């Protein structure tokens, strides 16, 4: 324990890489940890901070020239306080795991010329924000209730020369100092999935020359463009833009397609798209062209940033199925092939959020040998519960591979009538010791049909006791 010091609990020089485990920083006169290099953060694990003037680790140098992985177990009270620019050099690789938050104390920025892997989840996203933003990890700077403000820091820039940069489930807030967008990405090696830009003073996403499809982008309350498409011929799929100056703007050098997206409630929903030939099965303009709509999507609460669709939204079931299949999951990690009408058909929705008429609660500890119980509530319907992934044994087209449950039509194996074990393809990864139970208000008697709600079509990410369908991180479980 480090406590009752007049100044910082620990002051670290730039060349120091201490190992600090299970330590409590308590009632110190200044910050819990001061002067830390970002590369030294992994040396801290499972520590706590209470009663200090600043219950945080202050990072004062952050140039990455070698591989570095940062996980939430290394972060004091949920956030790193950044008092330096974060630069990933060509020789560097920065890997950030889910649940890590970065709070910037001034007009600093993130610039990537190497490789950056941001591995958030919908339940534990990676957040970049203002140090005054108490909505993320609480009152980190211990100065009383406060909210962030646009222009508090610059933003994130991924340069054209950057190497492999997969970004998933990342939230970027309160950017725009020097008019820097929340995220500028020009690298063909970048992959963007489930990213959100809130309260940017200027633009949310500026995209140029990508080689993959940015999927499930959300831009809310940005002063300029929510999404600016500068150049290239890539598609943008399942974006949601609301409350911005302009939802989505196309520059003349961009020749791709906006698909299955929802740009509504902005001052201008679509800019420089002409008659809408480059917009398809989307909402916010060009009604009658390429399956587009221009109707109120019935966001649950746009003023507060809740851009989920209401139960009677005209955007339900009107997205293009093939693009939804390749998107695989929505912003919340639900399947993109949900069936809002509960008729056993894939009916994907426009925008980043898929509407689900059913709710699932998950209880139990995600460890080998344990029992995980899934409980479903919602209206009765003819549907089959399937836990699916890409590494199963039985193909259920177009949903994926059957891991648990029954092939449609085999009602004697209906998992709603009896538990079924989850059998994974490789027993070295995880033993078949999970039991799935299912409760509904009413069970249909006809042969069940496949309900796409329960199909996980991507990799296995995470299993937590939360009221959502998620999957299993088998590598982590194998170590527990």
Whether the per-residue pLDDT at 409 is higher than 60: the answer is no
Report the DSSP beta bridge partners of residue 262.
240, 283
pLDDT band per the 50, 70, 90 thresholds, residue 365: low
pLDDT band per the 50, 70, 90 thresholds, residue 262: very high
CA distance 225 to 247: 6
* Predicted local confidence at residue 369, as pLDDT: 66
* Predicted local confidence at residue 199, as pLDDT: 98
Find the distance separating the first CA and the last CA of the chain, reported in whole Å.
28
* Predicted local confidence at residue 185, as pLDDT: 98
Structural contact between residues 413 and 438, judged by C-beta atoms closer than 8 angstroms: no
In the chain, the percentage of residues whose pLDDT exceeds 70 is 75
* Predicted local confidence at residue 65, as pLDDT: 97
pLDDT band per the 50, 70, 90 thresholds, residue 393: very low
CB count in 10 Å sphere of residue 22: 9
Whether the per-residue pLDDT at 271 is higher than 60: the answer is yes
* Predicted local confidence at residue 87, as pLDDT: 98
Q: What is the mean pLDDT of the chain?
A: 81
What would the mean pLDDT of 407-429 be, rounded to a whole number?
39
Q: Among 164-173, 409-418, 457-466, name the one with the lowest average pLDDT.
A: 457-466
Strand 258-259: give its sheet, edge to edge.
Answer: 236-237, 258-259, 279-280
CA distance 319 to 215: 14
* Predicted local confidence at residue 451, as pLDDT: 32
Residue-wise pLDDT for 30-88, tens only, equals 999 999 999 999 999 999 999 999 999 999 999 999 999 999 999 998 899 999 999 99
pLDDT band per the 50, 70, 90 thresholds, residue 141: confident
pTM for the whole structure: 0.81
> Comparing 479 with 83, which gets the higher pLDDT?
83
> Which of 236, 190, 244 is closest to 217 using CA atoms?
236
> Comparing 458 with 113, which gets the higher pLDDT?
113
pLDDT band per the 50, 70, 90 thresholds, residue 380: low
Q: Please confirm whether the linkage preceding 247 is cis (ω < 30° from 0).
A: no
* Predicted local confidence at residue 402, as pLDDT: 46
* Predicted local confidence at residue 344, as pLDDT: 66
Residue-wise pLDDT for 431-468, tens only, equals 222 222 222 222 222 222 323 333 222 222 222 222 23
- What are the structure tokens assigned to 301, written together? 């609460």
* Predicted local confidence at residue 361, as pLDDT: 65
Residue-wise pLDDT for 292-335, tens only, equals 999 999 999 999 999 999 999 999 999 999 999 889 889 998 87
Whether the per-residue pLDDT at 107 is higher than 90: the answer is yes
What would the mean pLDDT of 151-166 be, rounded to a whole number?
97
């Amino acid at each position: 324990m480090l406590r009752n010091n007049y100044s910082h609990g620990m002051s670290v020089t730039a060349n120091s890489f201490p190992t600090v485990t299970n330590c409590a920083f308590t009632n110190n006169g200044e910050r819990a940890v001061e002067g830390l290099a970002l590369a030294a953060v992994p040396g801290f694990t499972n520590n706590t901070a209470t009663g200090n003037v600043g219950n945080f680790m202050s990072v004062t140098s952050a140039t990455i020239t070698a591989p570095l992985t940062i996980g939430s177990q290394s972060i004091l009270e949920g956030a790193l306080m950044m008092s330096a620019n974060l630069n990933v050099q060509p020789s560097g690789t920065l890997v950030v795991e889910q649940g890590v938050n970065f709070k910037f104390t001034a007009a600093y920025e993130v610039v990537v010329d190497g490789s950056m892997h941001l591995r958030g989840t919908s339940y534990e996203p990676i957040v970049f924000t203002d140090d005054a933003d108490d909505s993320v990890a609480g009152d980190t700077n211990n100065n009383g209730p406060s909210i962030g403000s646009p222009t508090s820091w610059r933003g994130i820039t991924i340069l054209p020369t950057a190497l492999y940069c997969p970004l998933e489930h990342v939230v970027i807030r309160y950017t725009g100092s020097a008019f820097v967008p929340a995220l500028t990405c020009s690298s063909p090696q970048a992959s963007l999935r489930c990213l959100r830009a809130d309260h940017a003073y200027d633009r949310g996403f500026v995209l140029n020359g990508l080689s993959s499809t940015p999927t499930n982008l959300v831009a809310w309350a940005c002063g300029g463009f929510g999404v600016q498409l500068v150049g290239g011929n890539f598609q943008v799929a399942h974006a949601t833009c609301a409350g911005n100056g302009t939802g989505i703007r196309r520059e003349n050098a961009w020749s791709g397609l906006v698909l299955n997206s929802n740009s509504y409630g902005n001052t201008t929903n679509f800019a420089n798209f002409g008659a809408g030939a480059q917009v398809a099965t989307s909402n916010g303009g060009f009604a009658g062209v390429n399956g587009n709509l221009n109707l109120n999507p019935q966001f649950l609460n746009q003023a507060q940033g809740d851009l989920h669709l209401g139960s009677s939204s005209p955007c339900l079931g009107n997205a293009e199925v093939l693009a939804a299949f390749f998107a695989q999951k929505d912003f919340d990690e639900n399947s993109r092939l949900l069936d809002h009408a509960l008729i056993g058909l894939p009916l994907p929705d426009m925008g980043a959020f898929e509407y689900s008429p059913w709710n699932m609660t998950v209880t139990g500890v995600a460890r080998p040998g344990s029992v995980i119980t899934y409980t479903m509530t919602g209206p009765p319907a003819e549907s089959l519960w399937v836990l699916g992934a890409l590494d199963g044994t039985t193909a259920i087209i177009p949903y994926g591979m059957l891991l648990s449950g029954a092939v449609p039509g085999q009602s004697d194996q209906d998992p709603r009538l009896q538990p079924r074990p989850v059998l994974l393809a490789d027993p070295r990864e995880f033993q078949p010791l999970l039991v799935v139970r299912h409760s509904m208000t009413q069970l249909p008697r006809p042969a069940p049909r496949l309900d796409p709600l329960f199909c996980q079509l991507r990799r296995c990410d995470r299993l937590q006791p939360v009221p959502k369908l998620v999957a299993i991180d088998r590598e982590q479980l194998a170590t527990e």
